[in-house]
Structures are given as C-alpha cells and as structure tokens.
Amino acid sequence: MEGNLWIAFGLTLFAGLATGIGSLLAFFTSRTNTKFLSASLGFSAGVMIYVSLVEIFVKAKDALTYELGNTPGYWATIAGFFGGMLLIAVIDRFIPSTGNPHEVKSVEDIGKGPTNDEYARLKKMGVFTALAIAIHNFPEGIATFTSALQDPTLGVAIAIAVAIHNIPEGIAVSVPMYFATGDRKQAFKLSFLSGLAEPAGAVIAFLILMPFLNGIMFGIIFAAVAGIMVFISVDELLPAAQKFDEAHLSIYGMIAGMAVMAISLVLVS
C-alpha cells in the first residue's frame, strides 16, 4: 500500500488542479458549450455512481465482513455509506447559497454585464464560492487519496471523474471575480487555491488516517467515500447536467460513463 503513496498524492493533485482548468477556460470563451458540459457532467456522474456502488461499496463490505463477521460487517458498511452522505450533506447545508458550488452557472449567467453597484457583490460571491468549493474539495481529496492508496486503478477512475466536475467549479469562482476586479491573475489564483483543498485533504488523510488504516478503518472510509460520491453525483452533477441538457445528452453521458467504468474494471481485473 505504501508503494502507491506518491501515485495517490499525484492523482489527488491532478483532480484538484482541474479547478484551475475551468478558470482558464472561462477567460477564453464568451459562450458555454452546453452540449459538451451536459454530456461531461453526466459522464462524470455515471463513473462516480457505478464505481461507488459496484466497486467501492463491495470492497468496503468485503473488508468489514472479513474483520467483523457477515451481519455486523454489513451493518457497518451501511452505516459508513450513509454516514458519508450525511457528512457531505451537512457540509453542503452550511454553505451560503450565494457561494454553493452546486449552483453551477454558465459563463453567460455569471458574466451578464454587471453594473457598478454589482461589482462588490460579484467579488464577494467569488470569494464565497472559492471557500465553498474548498470545503467541498476537502473530502473529495480524502476519497481520491485513500482509494488510490488501496487500488491505483480505482484511484485513476475517481480522479478523472472528480477532475471533470471540478472544471465548472473553477468557472464559478473565476468569472465573478474577473468581472468584479478585471484582474485575470487574481481570479485564476483564487480558483487555483480553492482546488488545492483536494491535495490538502490527501495530506490530512496521510498524516491522521494512515497510522490507523487497518482493515476496519479502511472499510469504513471506503463505505463513506462511496456515500460521498453518490451524493455528489445525484445532488450536484446530474442536476447541473440537466440544467444544460440538450436531447438527453446528460443521460447518454451518464450511461457512457458507467459503460467506460465497467469495461475498464473488467480489463484491469
């Protein structure tokens, strides 16, 4: 497991830096490619849902039933799964709606010619959104890191899915800040820093969780990771994909994500 340490850190850093990619894209486009955005978000949701329910939950159950026995282990898996959902729901609940990254906006929505009175509000919104995304990225960083530490192939799939959904989050941070200040560097820096919460989550996981990462702890963490990823998919990715949906592209993208994840798991097994 320790041999995968740098791979796990690298994948978590990659996922976090995708927020900065979204920031850069926002500076060089005046219109959102709604078809691509809808299909991509759907694809990311498909990957997350499939890998969470088919792979991660099963790994968690296997680990916990081995350590605790069939019935207690299964109950522990269920508790960890819904505990992860509860954790991310509580985090989401305490984020102000003006800065909630679940409120995914298009470039056009955020950048409709603000008046002078709106500049201060836009700047505040950019800061709040960056803070909100940083809080959300933290458990995602733990999820990516611990998954890659146990199984690098699984970690790659999770990192790619997380990276895809981090791109519109970068747009949500950088565009209001750019329109408020006119400073691309400042907007990019704020977006970039919000994405670094993911590798920060990996560092915390390494420093705090690693000494306790036995079979039971691993099973509970994996069950919680599955719950977190399913919640993010149904609460964030699919609603956002539906917002920009054209001709059911979000559903096609979700099915494609599930299919790609299923095939990749078979090929590397």
pLDDT tens, residue by residue, 173-183:
776 677 667 77
pLDDT at 115 over 70: no
Q: How far apart are CA 253 and CA 249, in angstroms?
A: 6
70 is in an annotated binding site: no
103 is in an annotated binding site: no
pLDDT at 268: 59
Mean pLDDT score, 201-206: 83
pLDDT at 96 over 60: no
pLDDT at 107: 53
In 10 A of CB 242, how many CB atoms? 15
Mean pLDDT score, 106-124: 56
246 is in an annotated binding site: no
100 is in an annotated binding site: no
236 is in an annotated binding site: no
Q: Decide which of 185 and 96 is more confident.
A: 185
Instruction: Give backbone dihedrals phi and psi of 111, rounded to 5 degrees, phi first.
Output: -105, 30
Mean pLDDT score, 237-265: 82
pLDDT at 73 over 90: yes
169 is in an annotated binding site: yes
pLDDT at 69: 95
pLDDT at 83: 95
pLDDT at 114: 46
pLDDT at 153: 82
On whether the pTM is more than 0.85, the answer is no
Q: Decide which of 98 and 237 is more confident.
A: 237
Share of the chain above pLDDT 90, in %: 12
Q: How far apart are CA 163 and CA 137, in angstroms?
A: 11
pLDDT band at 47 (very low <50, low <70, confident <90, very high): confident
In 10 A of CB 265, how many CB atoms? 16
Q: Decide which of 63 and 38 is more confident.
A: 63
pLDDT at 170: 78
pLDDT at 1: 57
Q: Decide which of 137 and 155 is more confident.
A: 155
Average of per-residue pLDDT values in the chain: 78
Torsional sign, CA 45, 234, 23, 157: negative
Mean pLDDT score, 105-131: 59
Mean pLDDT score, 52-78: 93
- Please answer whether residues 228 and 135 qualify as being in contact, where contact means their C-beta atoms are separated by less than 8 angstroms: no
Mean pLDDT score, 211-220: 81
Mean pLDDT score, 39-62: 86
pLDDT band at 239 (very low <50, low <70, confident <90, very high): confident
